[in-house]
Structure 1
Amino acid sequence: MGEASFDQQAWLDRIGYSGPRTPTLETLNKLIFSHAHAISYETLDIMLGRTPKLDVQTLERKMIFGKRGGYCFEQNMLFRAGLRSLGFQITSLQGRVIRGMAIDAPRPAIHMLMQVELSEGRYLADVGFGNLAPTCALRLEPHTEQDTPHEVMRFIDVGGELTLQAHLKHGWEHIYRVIPYPRYDGEYEITNWYTGTHPETPYQGNIIAARPGPDRTRITMYNSRVTVRDADGRADKRWLQSETEYRDVLRGEFGLNMTDAEIEQCITTMKTKGTGDAPHPFFA
């Protein structure tokens, strides 16, 4: 997974960033915001029978030059390459997703995230958690409420793992627990293979996409349901009916460069394998 040939300028152009390139907290915050808004979270290649690949050149072809999105490993691997090209010091970490579960739920480590070392301290960077990825860096310290361009967030220490929480409509909701130990890329490869191929993961049969929007909103697509939620958790939902509507939303609202045939295949797979309109805590 070498990053020596990473095309920094192409990445910055793709995310619409033209600001300072010094490895500071201000730069990191602007990069997270720009990347999250430009490159949507989506898992549609898995529906198309394409297990995600994590080498940087493949990620560049897909998300930068191909104008597609990606899910957590793809997003954070690409973002990590971009940060390293600018001189940021990164420690690669994993998290235990507990969205919609007990704060101490015994969960496997299936999420990638990053710790960024700055003069101000250690910060979390994560552009790959769908509808609740923080849209700025978060200081890795417990019991401090931190405002973001979207939700207010904080960390709670649970047995030595910091639990990321977001303040939504019904109060503080758990997102994931951060494992405070460095991870090797081979561990991401193993987990990516599991999440990208296991028949019981939600990605095999469900259309999933998410991106942050203006005025502290977020837009999420789960099969035919499209939800726009504000920072307080109030949600406006609509349901897609025609293939034309699916194309318009995936290409327009999520900015995904997909062919008619690819979108048609995703819809067909959704109808045969998907969970329909059933709620899913990760993609509510």
Structure 2
Amino acid sequence: MANGDPGFDLDAYLHRIGVTGRPAADVTSLREVHRAHLTAIPFENIDPVLGRVPSLAEADLLAKLVHSGRGGYCYEHNTLLGAALGALGFGVRRLTARVVVGAERHETRPRTHMALLVDVPGDRRRHLADVGFGAPGALVEPLPFVADAVRTAAGRSHRLTRTRGTGPLDLWALDARGAAGWETQYVFTEEPFERSDIEVVNWHIATHPRSPFRSRLRICRTGPDGSVAVLNGTTLTRTPPGASGTVREVLGRDELHRVLHEEFGITAPEDLTAAVRPAEPAG
């Protein structure tokens, strides 16, 4: 389990996510911090789209996601959350997962997602925490690490199921319930990954020519009314809690920066529009 960095600016982080006071290292605070982070800091992959590898150094994450009002993708979000939880006194283990939404076989997907396994002092239950999924099936609050236990928060229901994988460790699946029933979001084992492992995966996913994070802009914010997202720089979508429907709006070439500022609080680099080349509205 990772330990907290004594130099981590916890006060600035808590201010950014709107949490007052100093949360205790208990389940209630874990849920509060997780939900507040997810709501306050958007998911975005602007840097990889612009050909830049996001830094996972805690000072750089604080500068970008906390002080500059930007967001990030899973490695940035969950590295930042892990540092904050460690500073609050929680035990944190880094996990990697295979995103399998729409996949016929789990084994065909690489481990390109990061999540956290959290130990709460004085509590035998561990929790899966993840504020970097960037999709309607994302966790709103940490999920107790118990097979088949359903938890609902902000209109979203999740559960963990456990099966025997191809290796020696049990394979866990995070399922989200939508309009069509349960759908697996990603699968993972409990094997811990070190910071150096995450650094390598982060570089690969930000630079590989076939990586969707390099080629397709995705920005997402989760709130009490569901999620709002910009896809490919051309479409604004709104999805109610439970992923029961989506409203789509085509964005014009000159609208992207305005939408990012108004919907997500992001002041994007000036060269973003040229990089994603948004389509003109139809008609």
Is the TM value for this pair above 0.5? yes
Report what 2:99 is aligned to: 97
Residue 222 (1) aligns with residue 228 (2): no
Equivalent pair of 2:42/2:219 in contact (CA under 8 Å)? yes
Q: 1:102: Cα distance to partner?
A: 3.0
Q: 1:103: Cα distance to partner?
A: 5.9
Among 75, 83, 86, the alignment partner of 1:84 is: 86
Report what 1:241 is aligned to: 252
Report what 1:270 is aligned to: 276
Report what 1:21 is aligned to: 23
Report what 1:133 is aligned to: 138
So what's the TM-score if we normalise by structure 2? 0.89
The residue type equivalent to 1:130 in the other structure is G
Report what 1:170 is aligned to: 180
Report what 1:207 is aligned to: 217
Unaligned stretches of 5+ in structure 2?
165-169
Q: 1:19: Cα distance to partner?
A: 5.0
Report what 1:67 is aligned to: 69
Distance in structure 2 (CA, Å) of the matches to 1:14 and 1:139: 26
The residue type equivalent to 2:202 in the other structure is N
Report what 1:144 is aligned to: 149
Equivalent pair of 2:158/2:174 in contact (CA under 8 Å)? yes
So what's the TM-score if we normalise by structure 1? 0.89
Report what 2:51 is aligned to: 49
Q: Percent identity?
A: 31
Report what 2:11 is aligned to: 9
Q: Residue 268 of structure 1: SS of its match in structure 2?
A: helix
Q: Encode CA deviations 1:38-96: one digit per residue, 9 max, x unaligned.
A: 11000001122221111101111111111100000000001111111111111121111
The residue type equivalent to 1:221 in the other structure is V
- Once superposed, what is the RMSD of the aligned Cα atoms? 2.1
The residue type equivalent to 1:140 in the other structure is F
Residue 156 (1) aligns with residue 167 (2): no
Q: Encode CA deviations 1:239-265: one digit per residue, 9 max, x unaligned.
A: 11141x212211111111324x1xxx2
Equivalent pair of 2:253/2:273 in contact (CA under 8 Å)? no
Equivalent pair of 2:253/2:277 in contact (CA under 8 Å)? no
Q: How many pairs align?
A: 269
Report what 1:115 is aligned to: 117
Higher mean Cα deviation, 45-54 or 56-65?
Answer: 45-54
Unaligned stretches of 5+ in structure 1?
277-284
Equivalent pair of 2:154/2:241 in contact (CA under 8 Å)? no
Q: 1:140: Cα distance to partner?
A: 1.2
Q: 1:120: Cα distance to partner?
A: 4.7
